[in-house]
Structure 1
Amino acid sequence: MSTWDVILSTPAPAANPKLVRRKVASADKARVRLSENLKLASYAWTLEKEVRQLRKELAAAHEQTRKLASGMLESAQHASAALAVEDPVYCPSKSPYY
């Protein structure tokens, strides 16, 4: 009888059912955790894309607000200058009463 015949004819040790159940349960828990982690990673990626988009929109709104405020200030300055020319009481430096 050769060595291989001895090795192949030797019965495999009986599996311990408790150990097998424990390993299967552990593998199932690991699979569930991995699945949850993948879902969380996907959700985090989605949130990151949304945050980038919101930052772009915020920057655009800020620029639009800045331009609007600048235009309003310029308009107010023109109105103030026009009022000072038309009404000397409004502008004390041009008023004959001061």
Structure 2
Amino acid sequence: MEIKGEIIAYCYMVDRGKPAACIALQERFIEDNLNFIKSNKLKTYIEPLSEGWVTLWIYKYSHILDVIKSLPQYPTSTFNHWVLGKLFGYDENSISNYLRGKIT
């Protein structure tokens, strides 16, 4: 899927209730995508990923930024995985099934 198509899909999902979405993006694509996201009345947060690349977060509600900034680099606990699941819009049953297979 091309980048613009992914951004459109993520904006659609976040606008309709998914707390957040993120995508790894080359820096050269930031400006055009920020304009599109903002035209949909959504918020963004950018984190450096590696040289020339960023993680672009899309969210609707201001408190979600606090959650994003509090995320661990590498989730290791049940709580970390649960928060990530909720942030990405997974239901409790799906998170529970994942945790049963992942955390022992």
Give the greater-gyration-radius structure (CA).
Answer: 1
Higher helix share: 1
Higher strand share: 2
Pairwise same-fold verdict (TM > 0.5) = no
TM-score using structure 1 length: 0.17
- RCO comparison, higher one (Cα < 8 Å, 6+): 2
